[in-house]
């Protein structure tokens, strides 16, 4: 895990007043990353594509509990580290 990404996630958690946990709900992740639920779903769906030699760096691993999606803290940190240099499209 990237130390800088870990610090950034912790700062975002503090700013959004979200308790640090092992697993987050989609709404919390949307608030942290400042993305829409649709964008989050698209990022998660990229990670669910059949195994290929290389997944896109913007793909975000998640898992389901019943029909509810969850994202692990370590997954968020790794995602942020991979995507630090990516710029948001306007």
| Interval 48-80: pLDDT, tens | 887 766 788 899 999 999 999 999 999 999 999
| pTM for the predicted model, two decimal places | 0.84
Q: What is the DSSP letter of 46?
A: H
Write the Ramachandran bin of 50: left for phi over 0, alpha for psi from -120 to 50, otherwise beta: beta
The single residue listed with the structure tokens 């997944």 is 55
* Separation between Cα atoms, residue 5 and residue 1, nearest integer Å: 8
Are the C-beta atoms of residues 45 and 88 closer than 8 Å to each other?
Answer: no
Of the pLDDT bands very low, low, confident and very high (cuts 50, 70, 90), residue 86 is low
Helix runs in 1-90, H state only: 3-16, 26-33, 37-47, 73-82
**Per-residue model confidence as pLDDT tens digits over 23-36:** 999 999 999 999 99
Do residues 24 and 71 lie in contact, with contact meaning Cβ atoms separated by under 8 Å? yes
Report residue 19 CA to chain centroid gap.
Answer: 16
Predicted pLDDT at 53: 63
């Amino acid at each position: 895990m990237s130390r800088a990404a870990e610090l950034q996630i912790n700062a975002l958690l503090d700013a959004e007043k979200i308790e640090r946990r092992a697993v987050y709900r989609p709404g919390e992740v949307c608030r942290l990353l400042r993305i829409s639920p649709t964008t989050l779903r698209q990022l998660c769906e990229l990670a669910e594509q059949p195994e290929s030699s290389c997944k896109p760096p913007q793909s975000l691993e998640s898992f389901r509990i019943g029909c509810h999606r969850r994202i692990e803290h370590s997954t968020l940190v790794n995602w942020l580290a991979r995507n630090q240099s990516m710029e948001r499209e306007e």
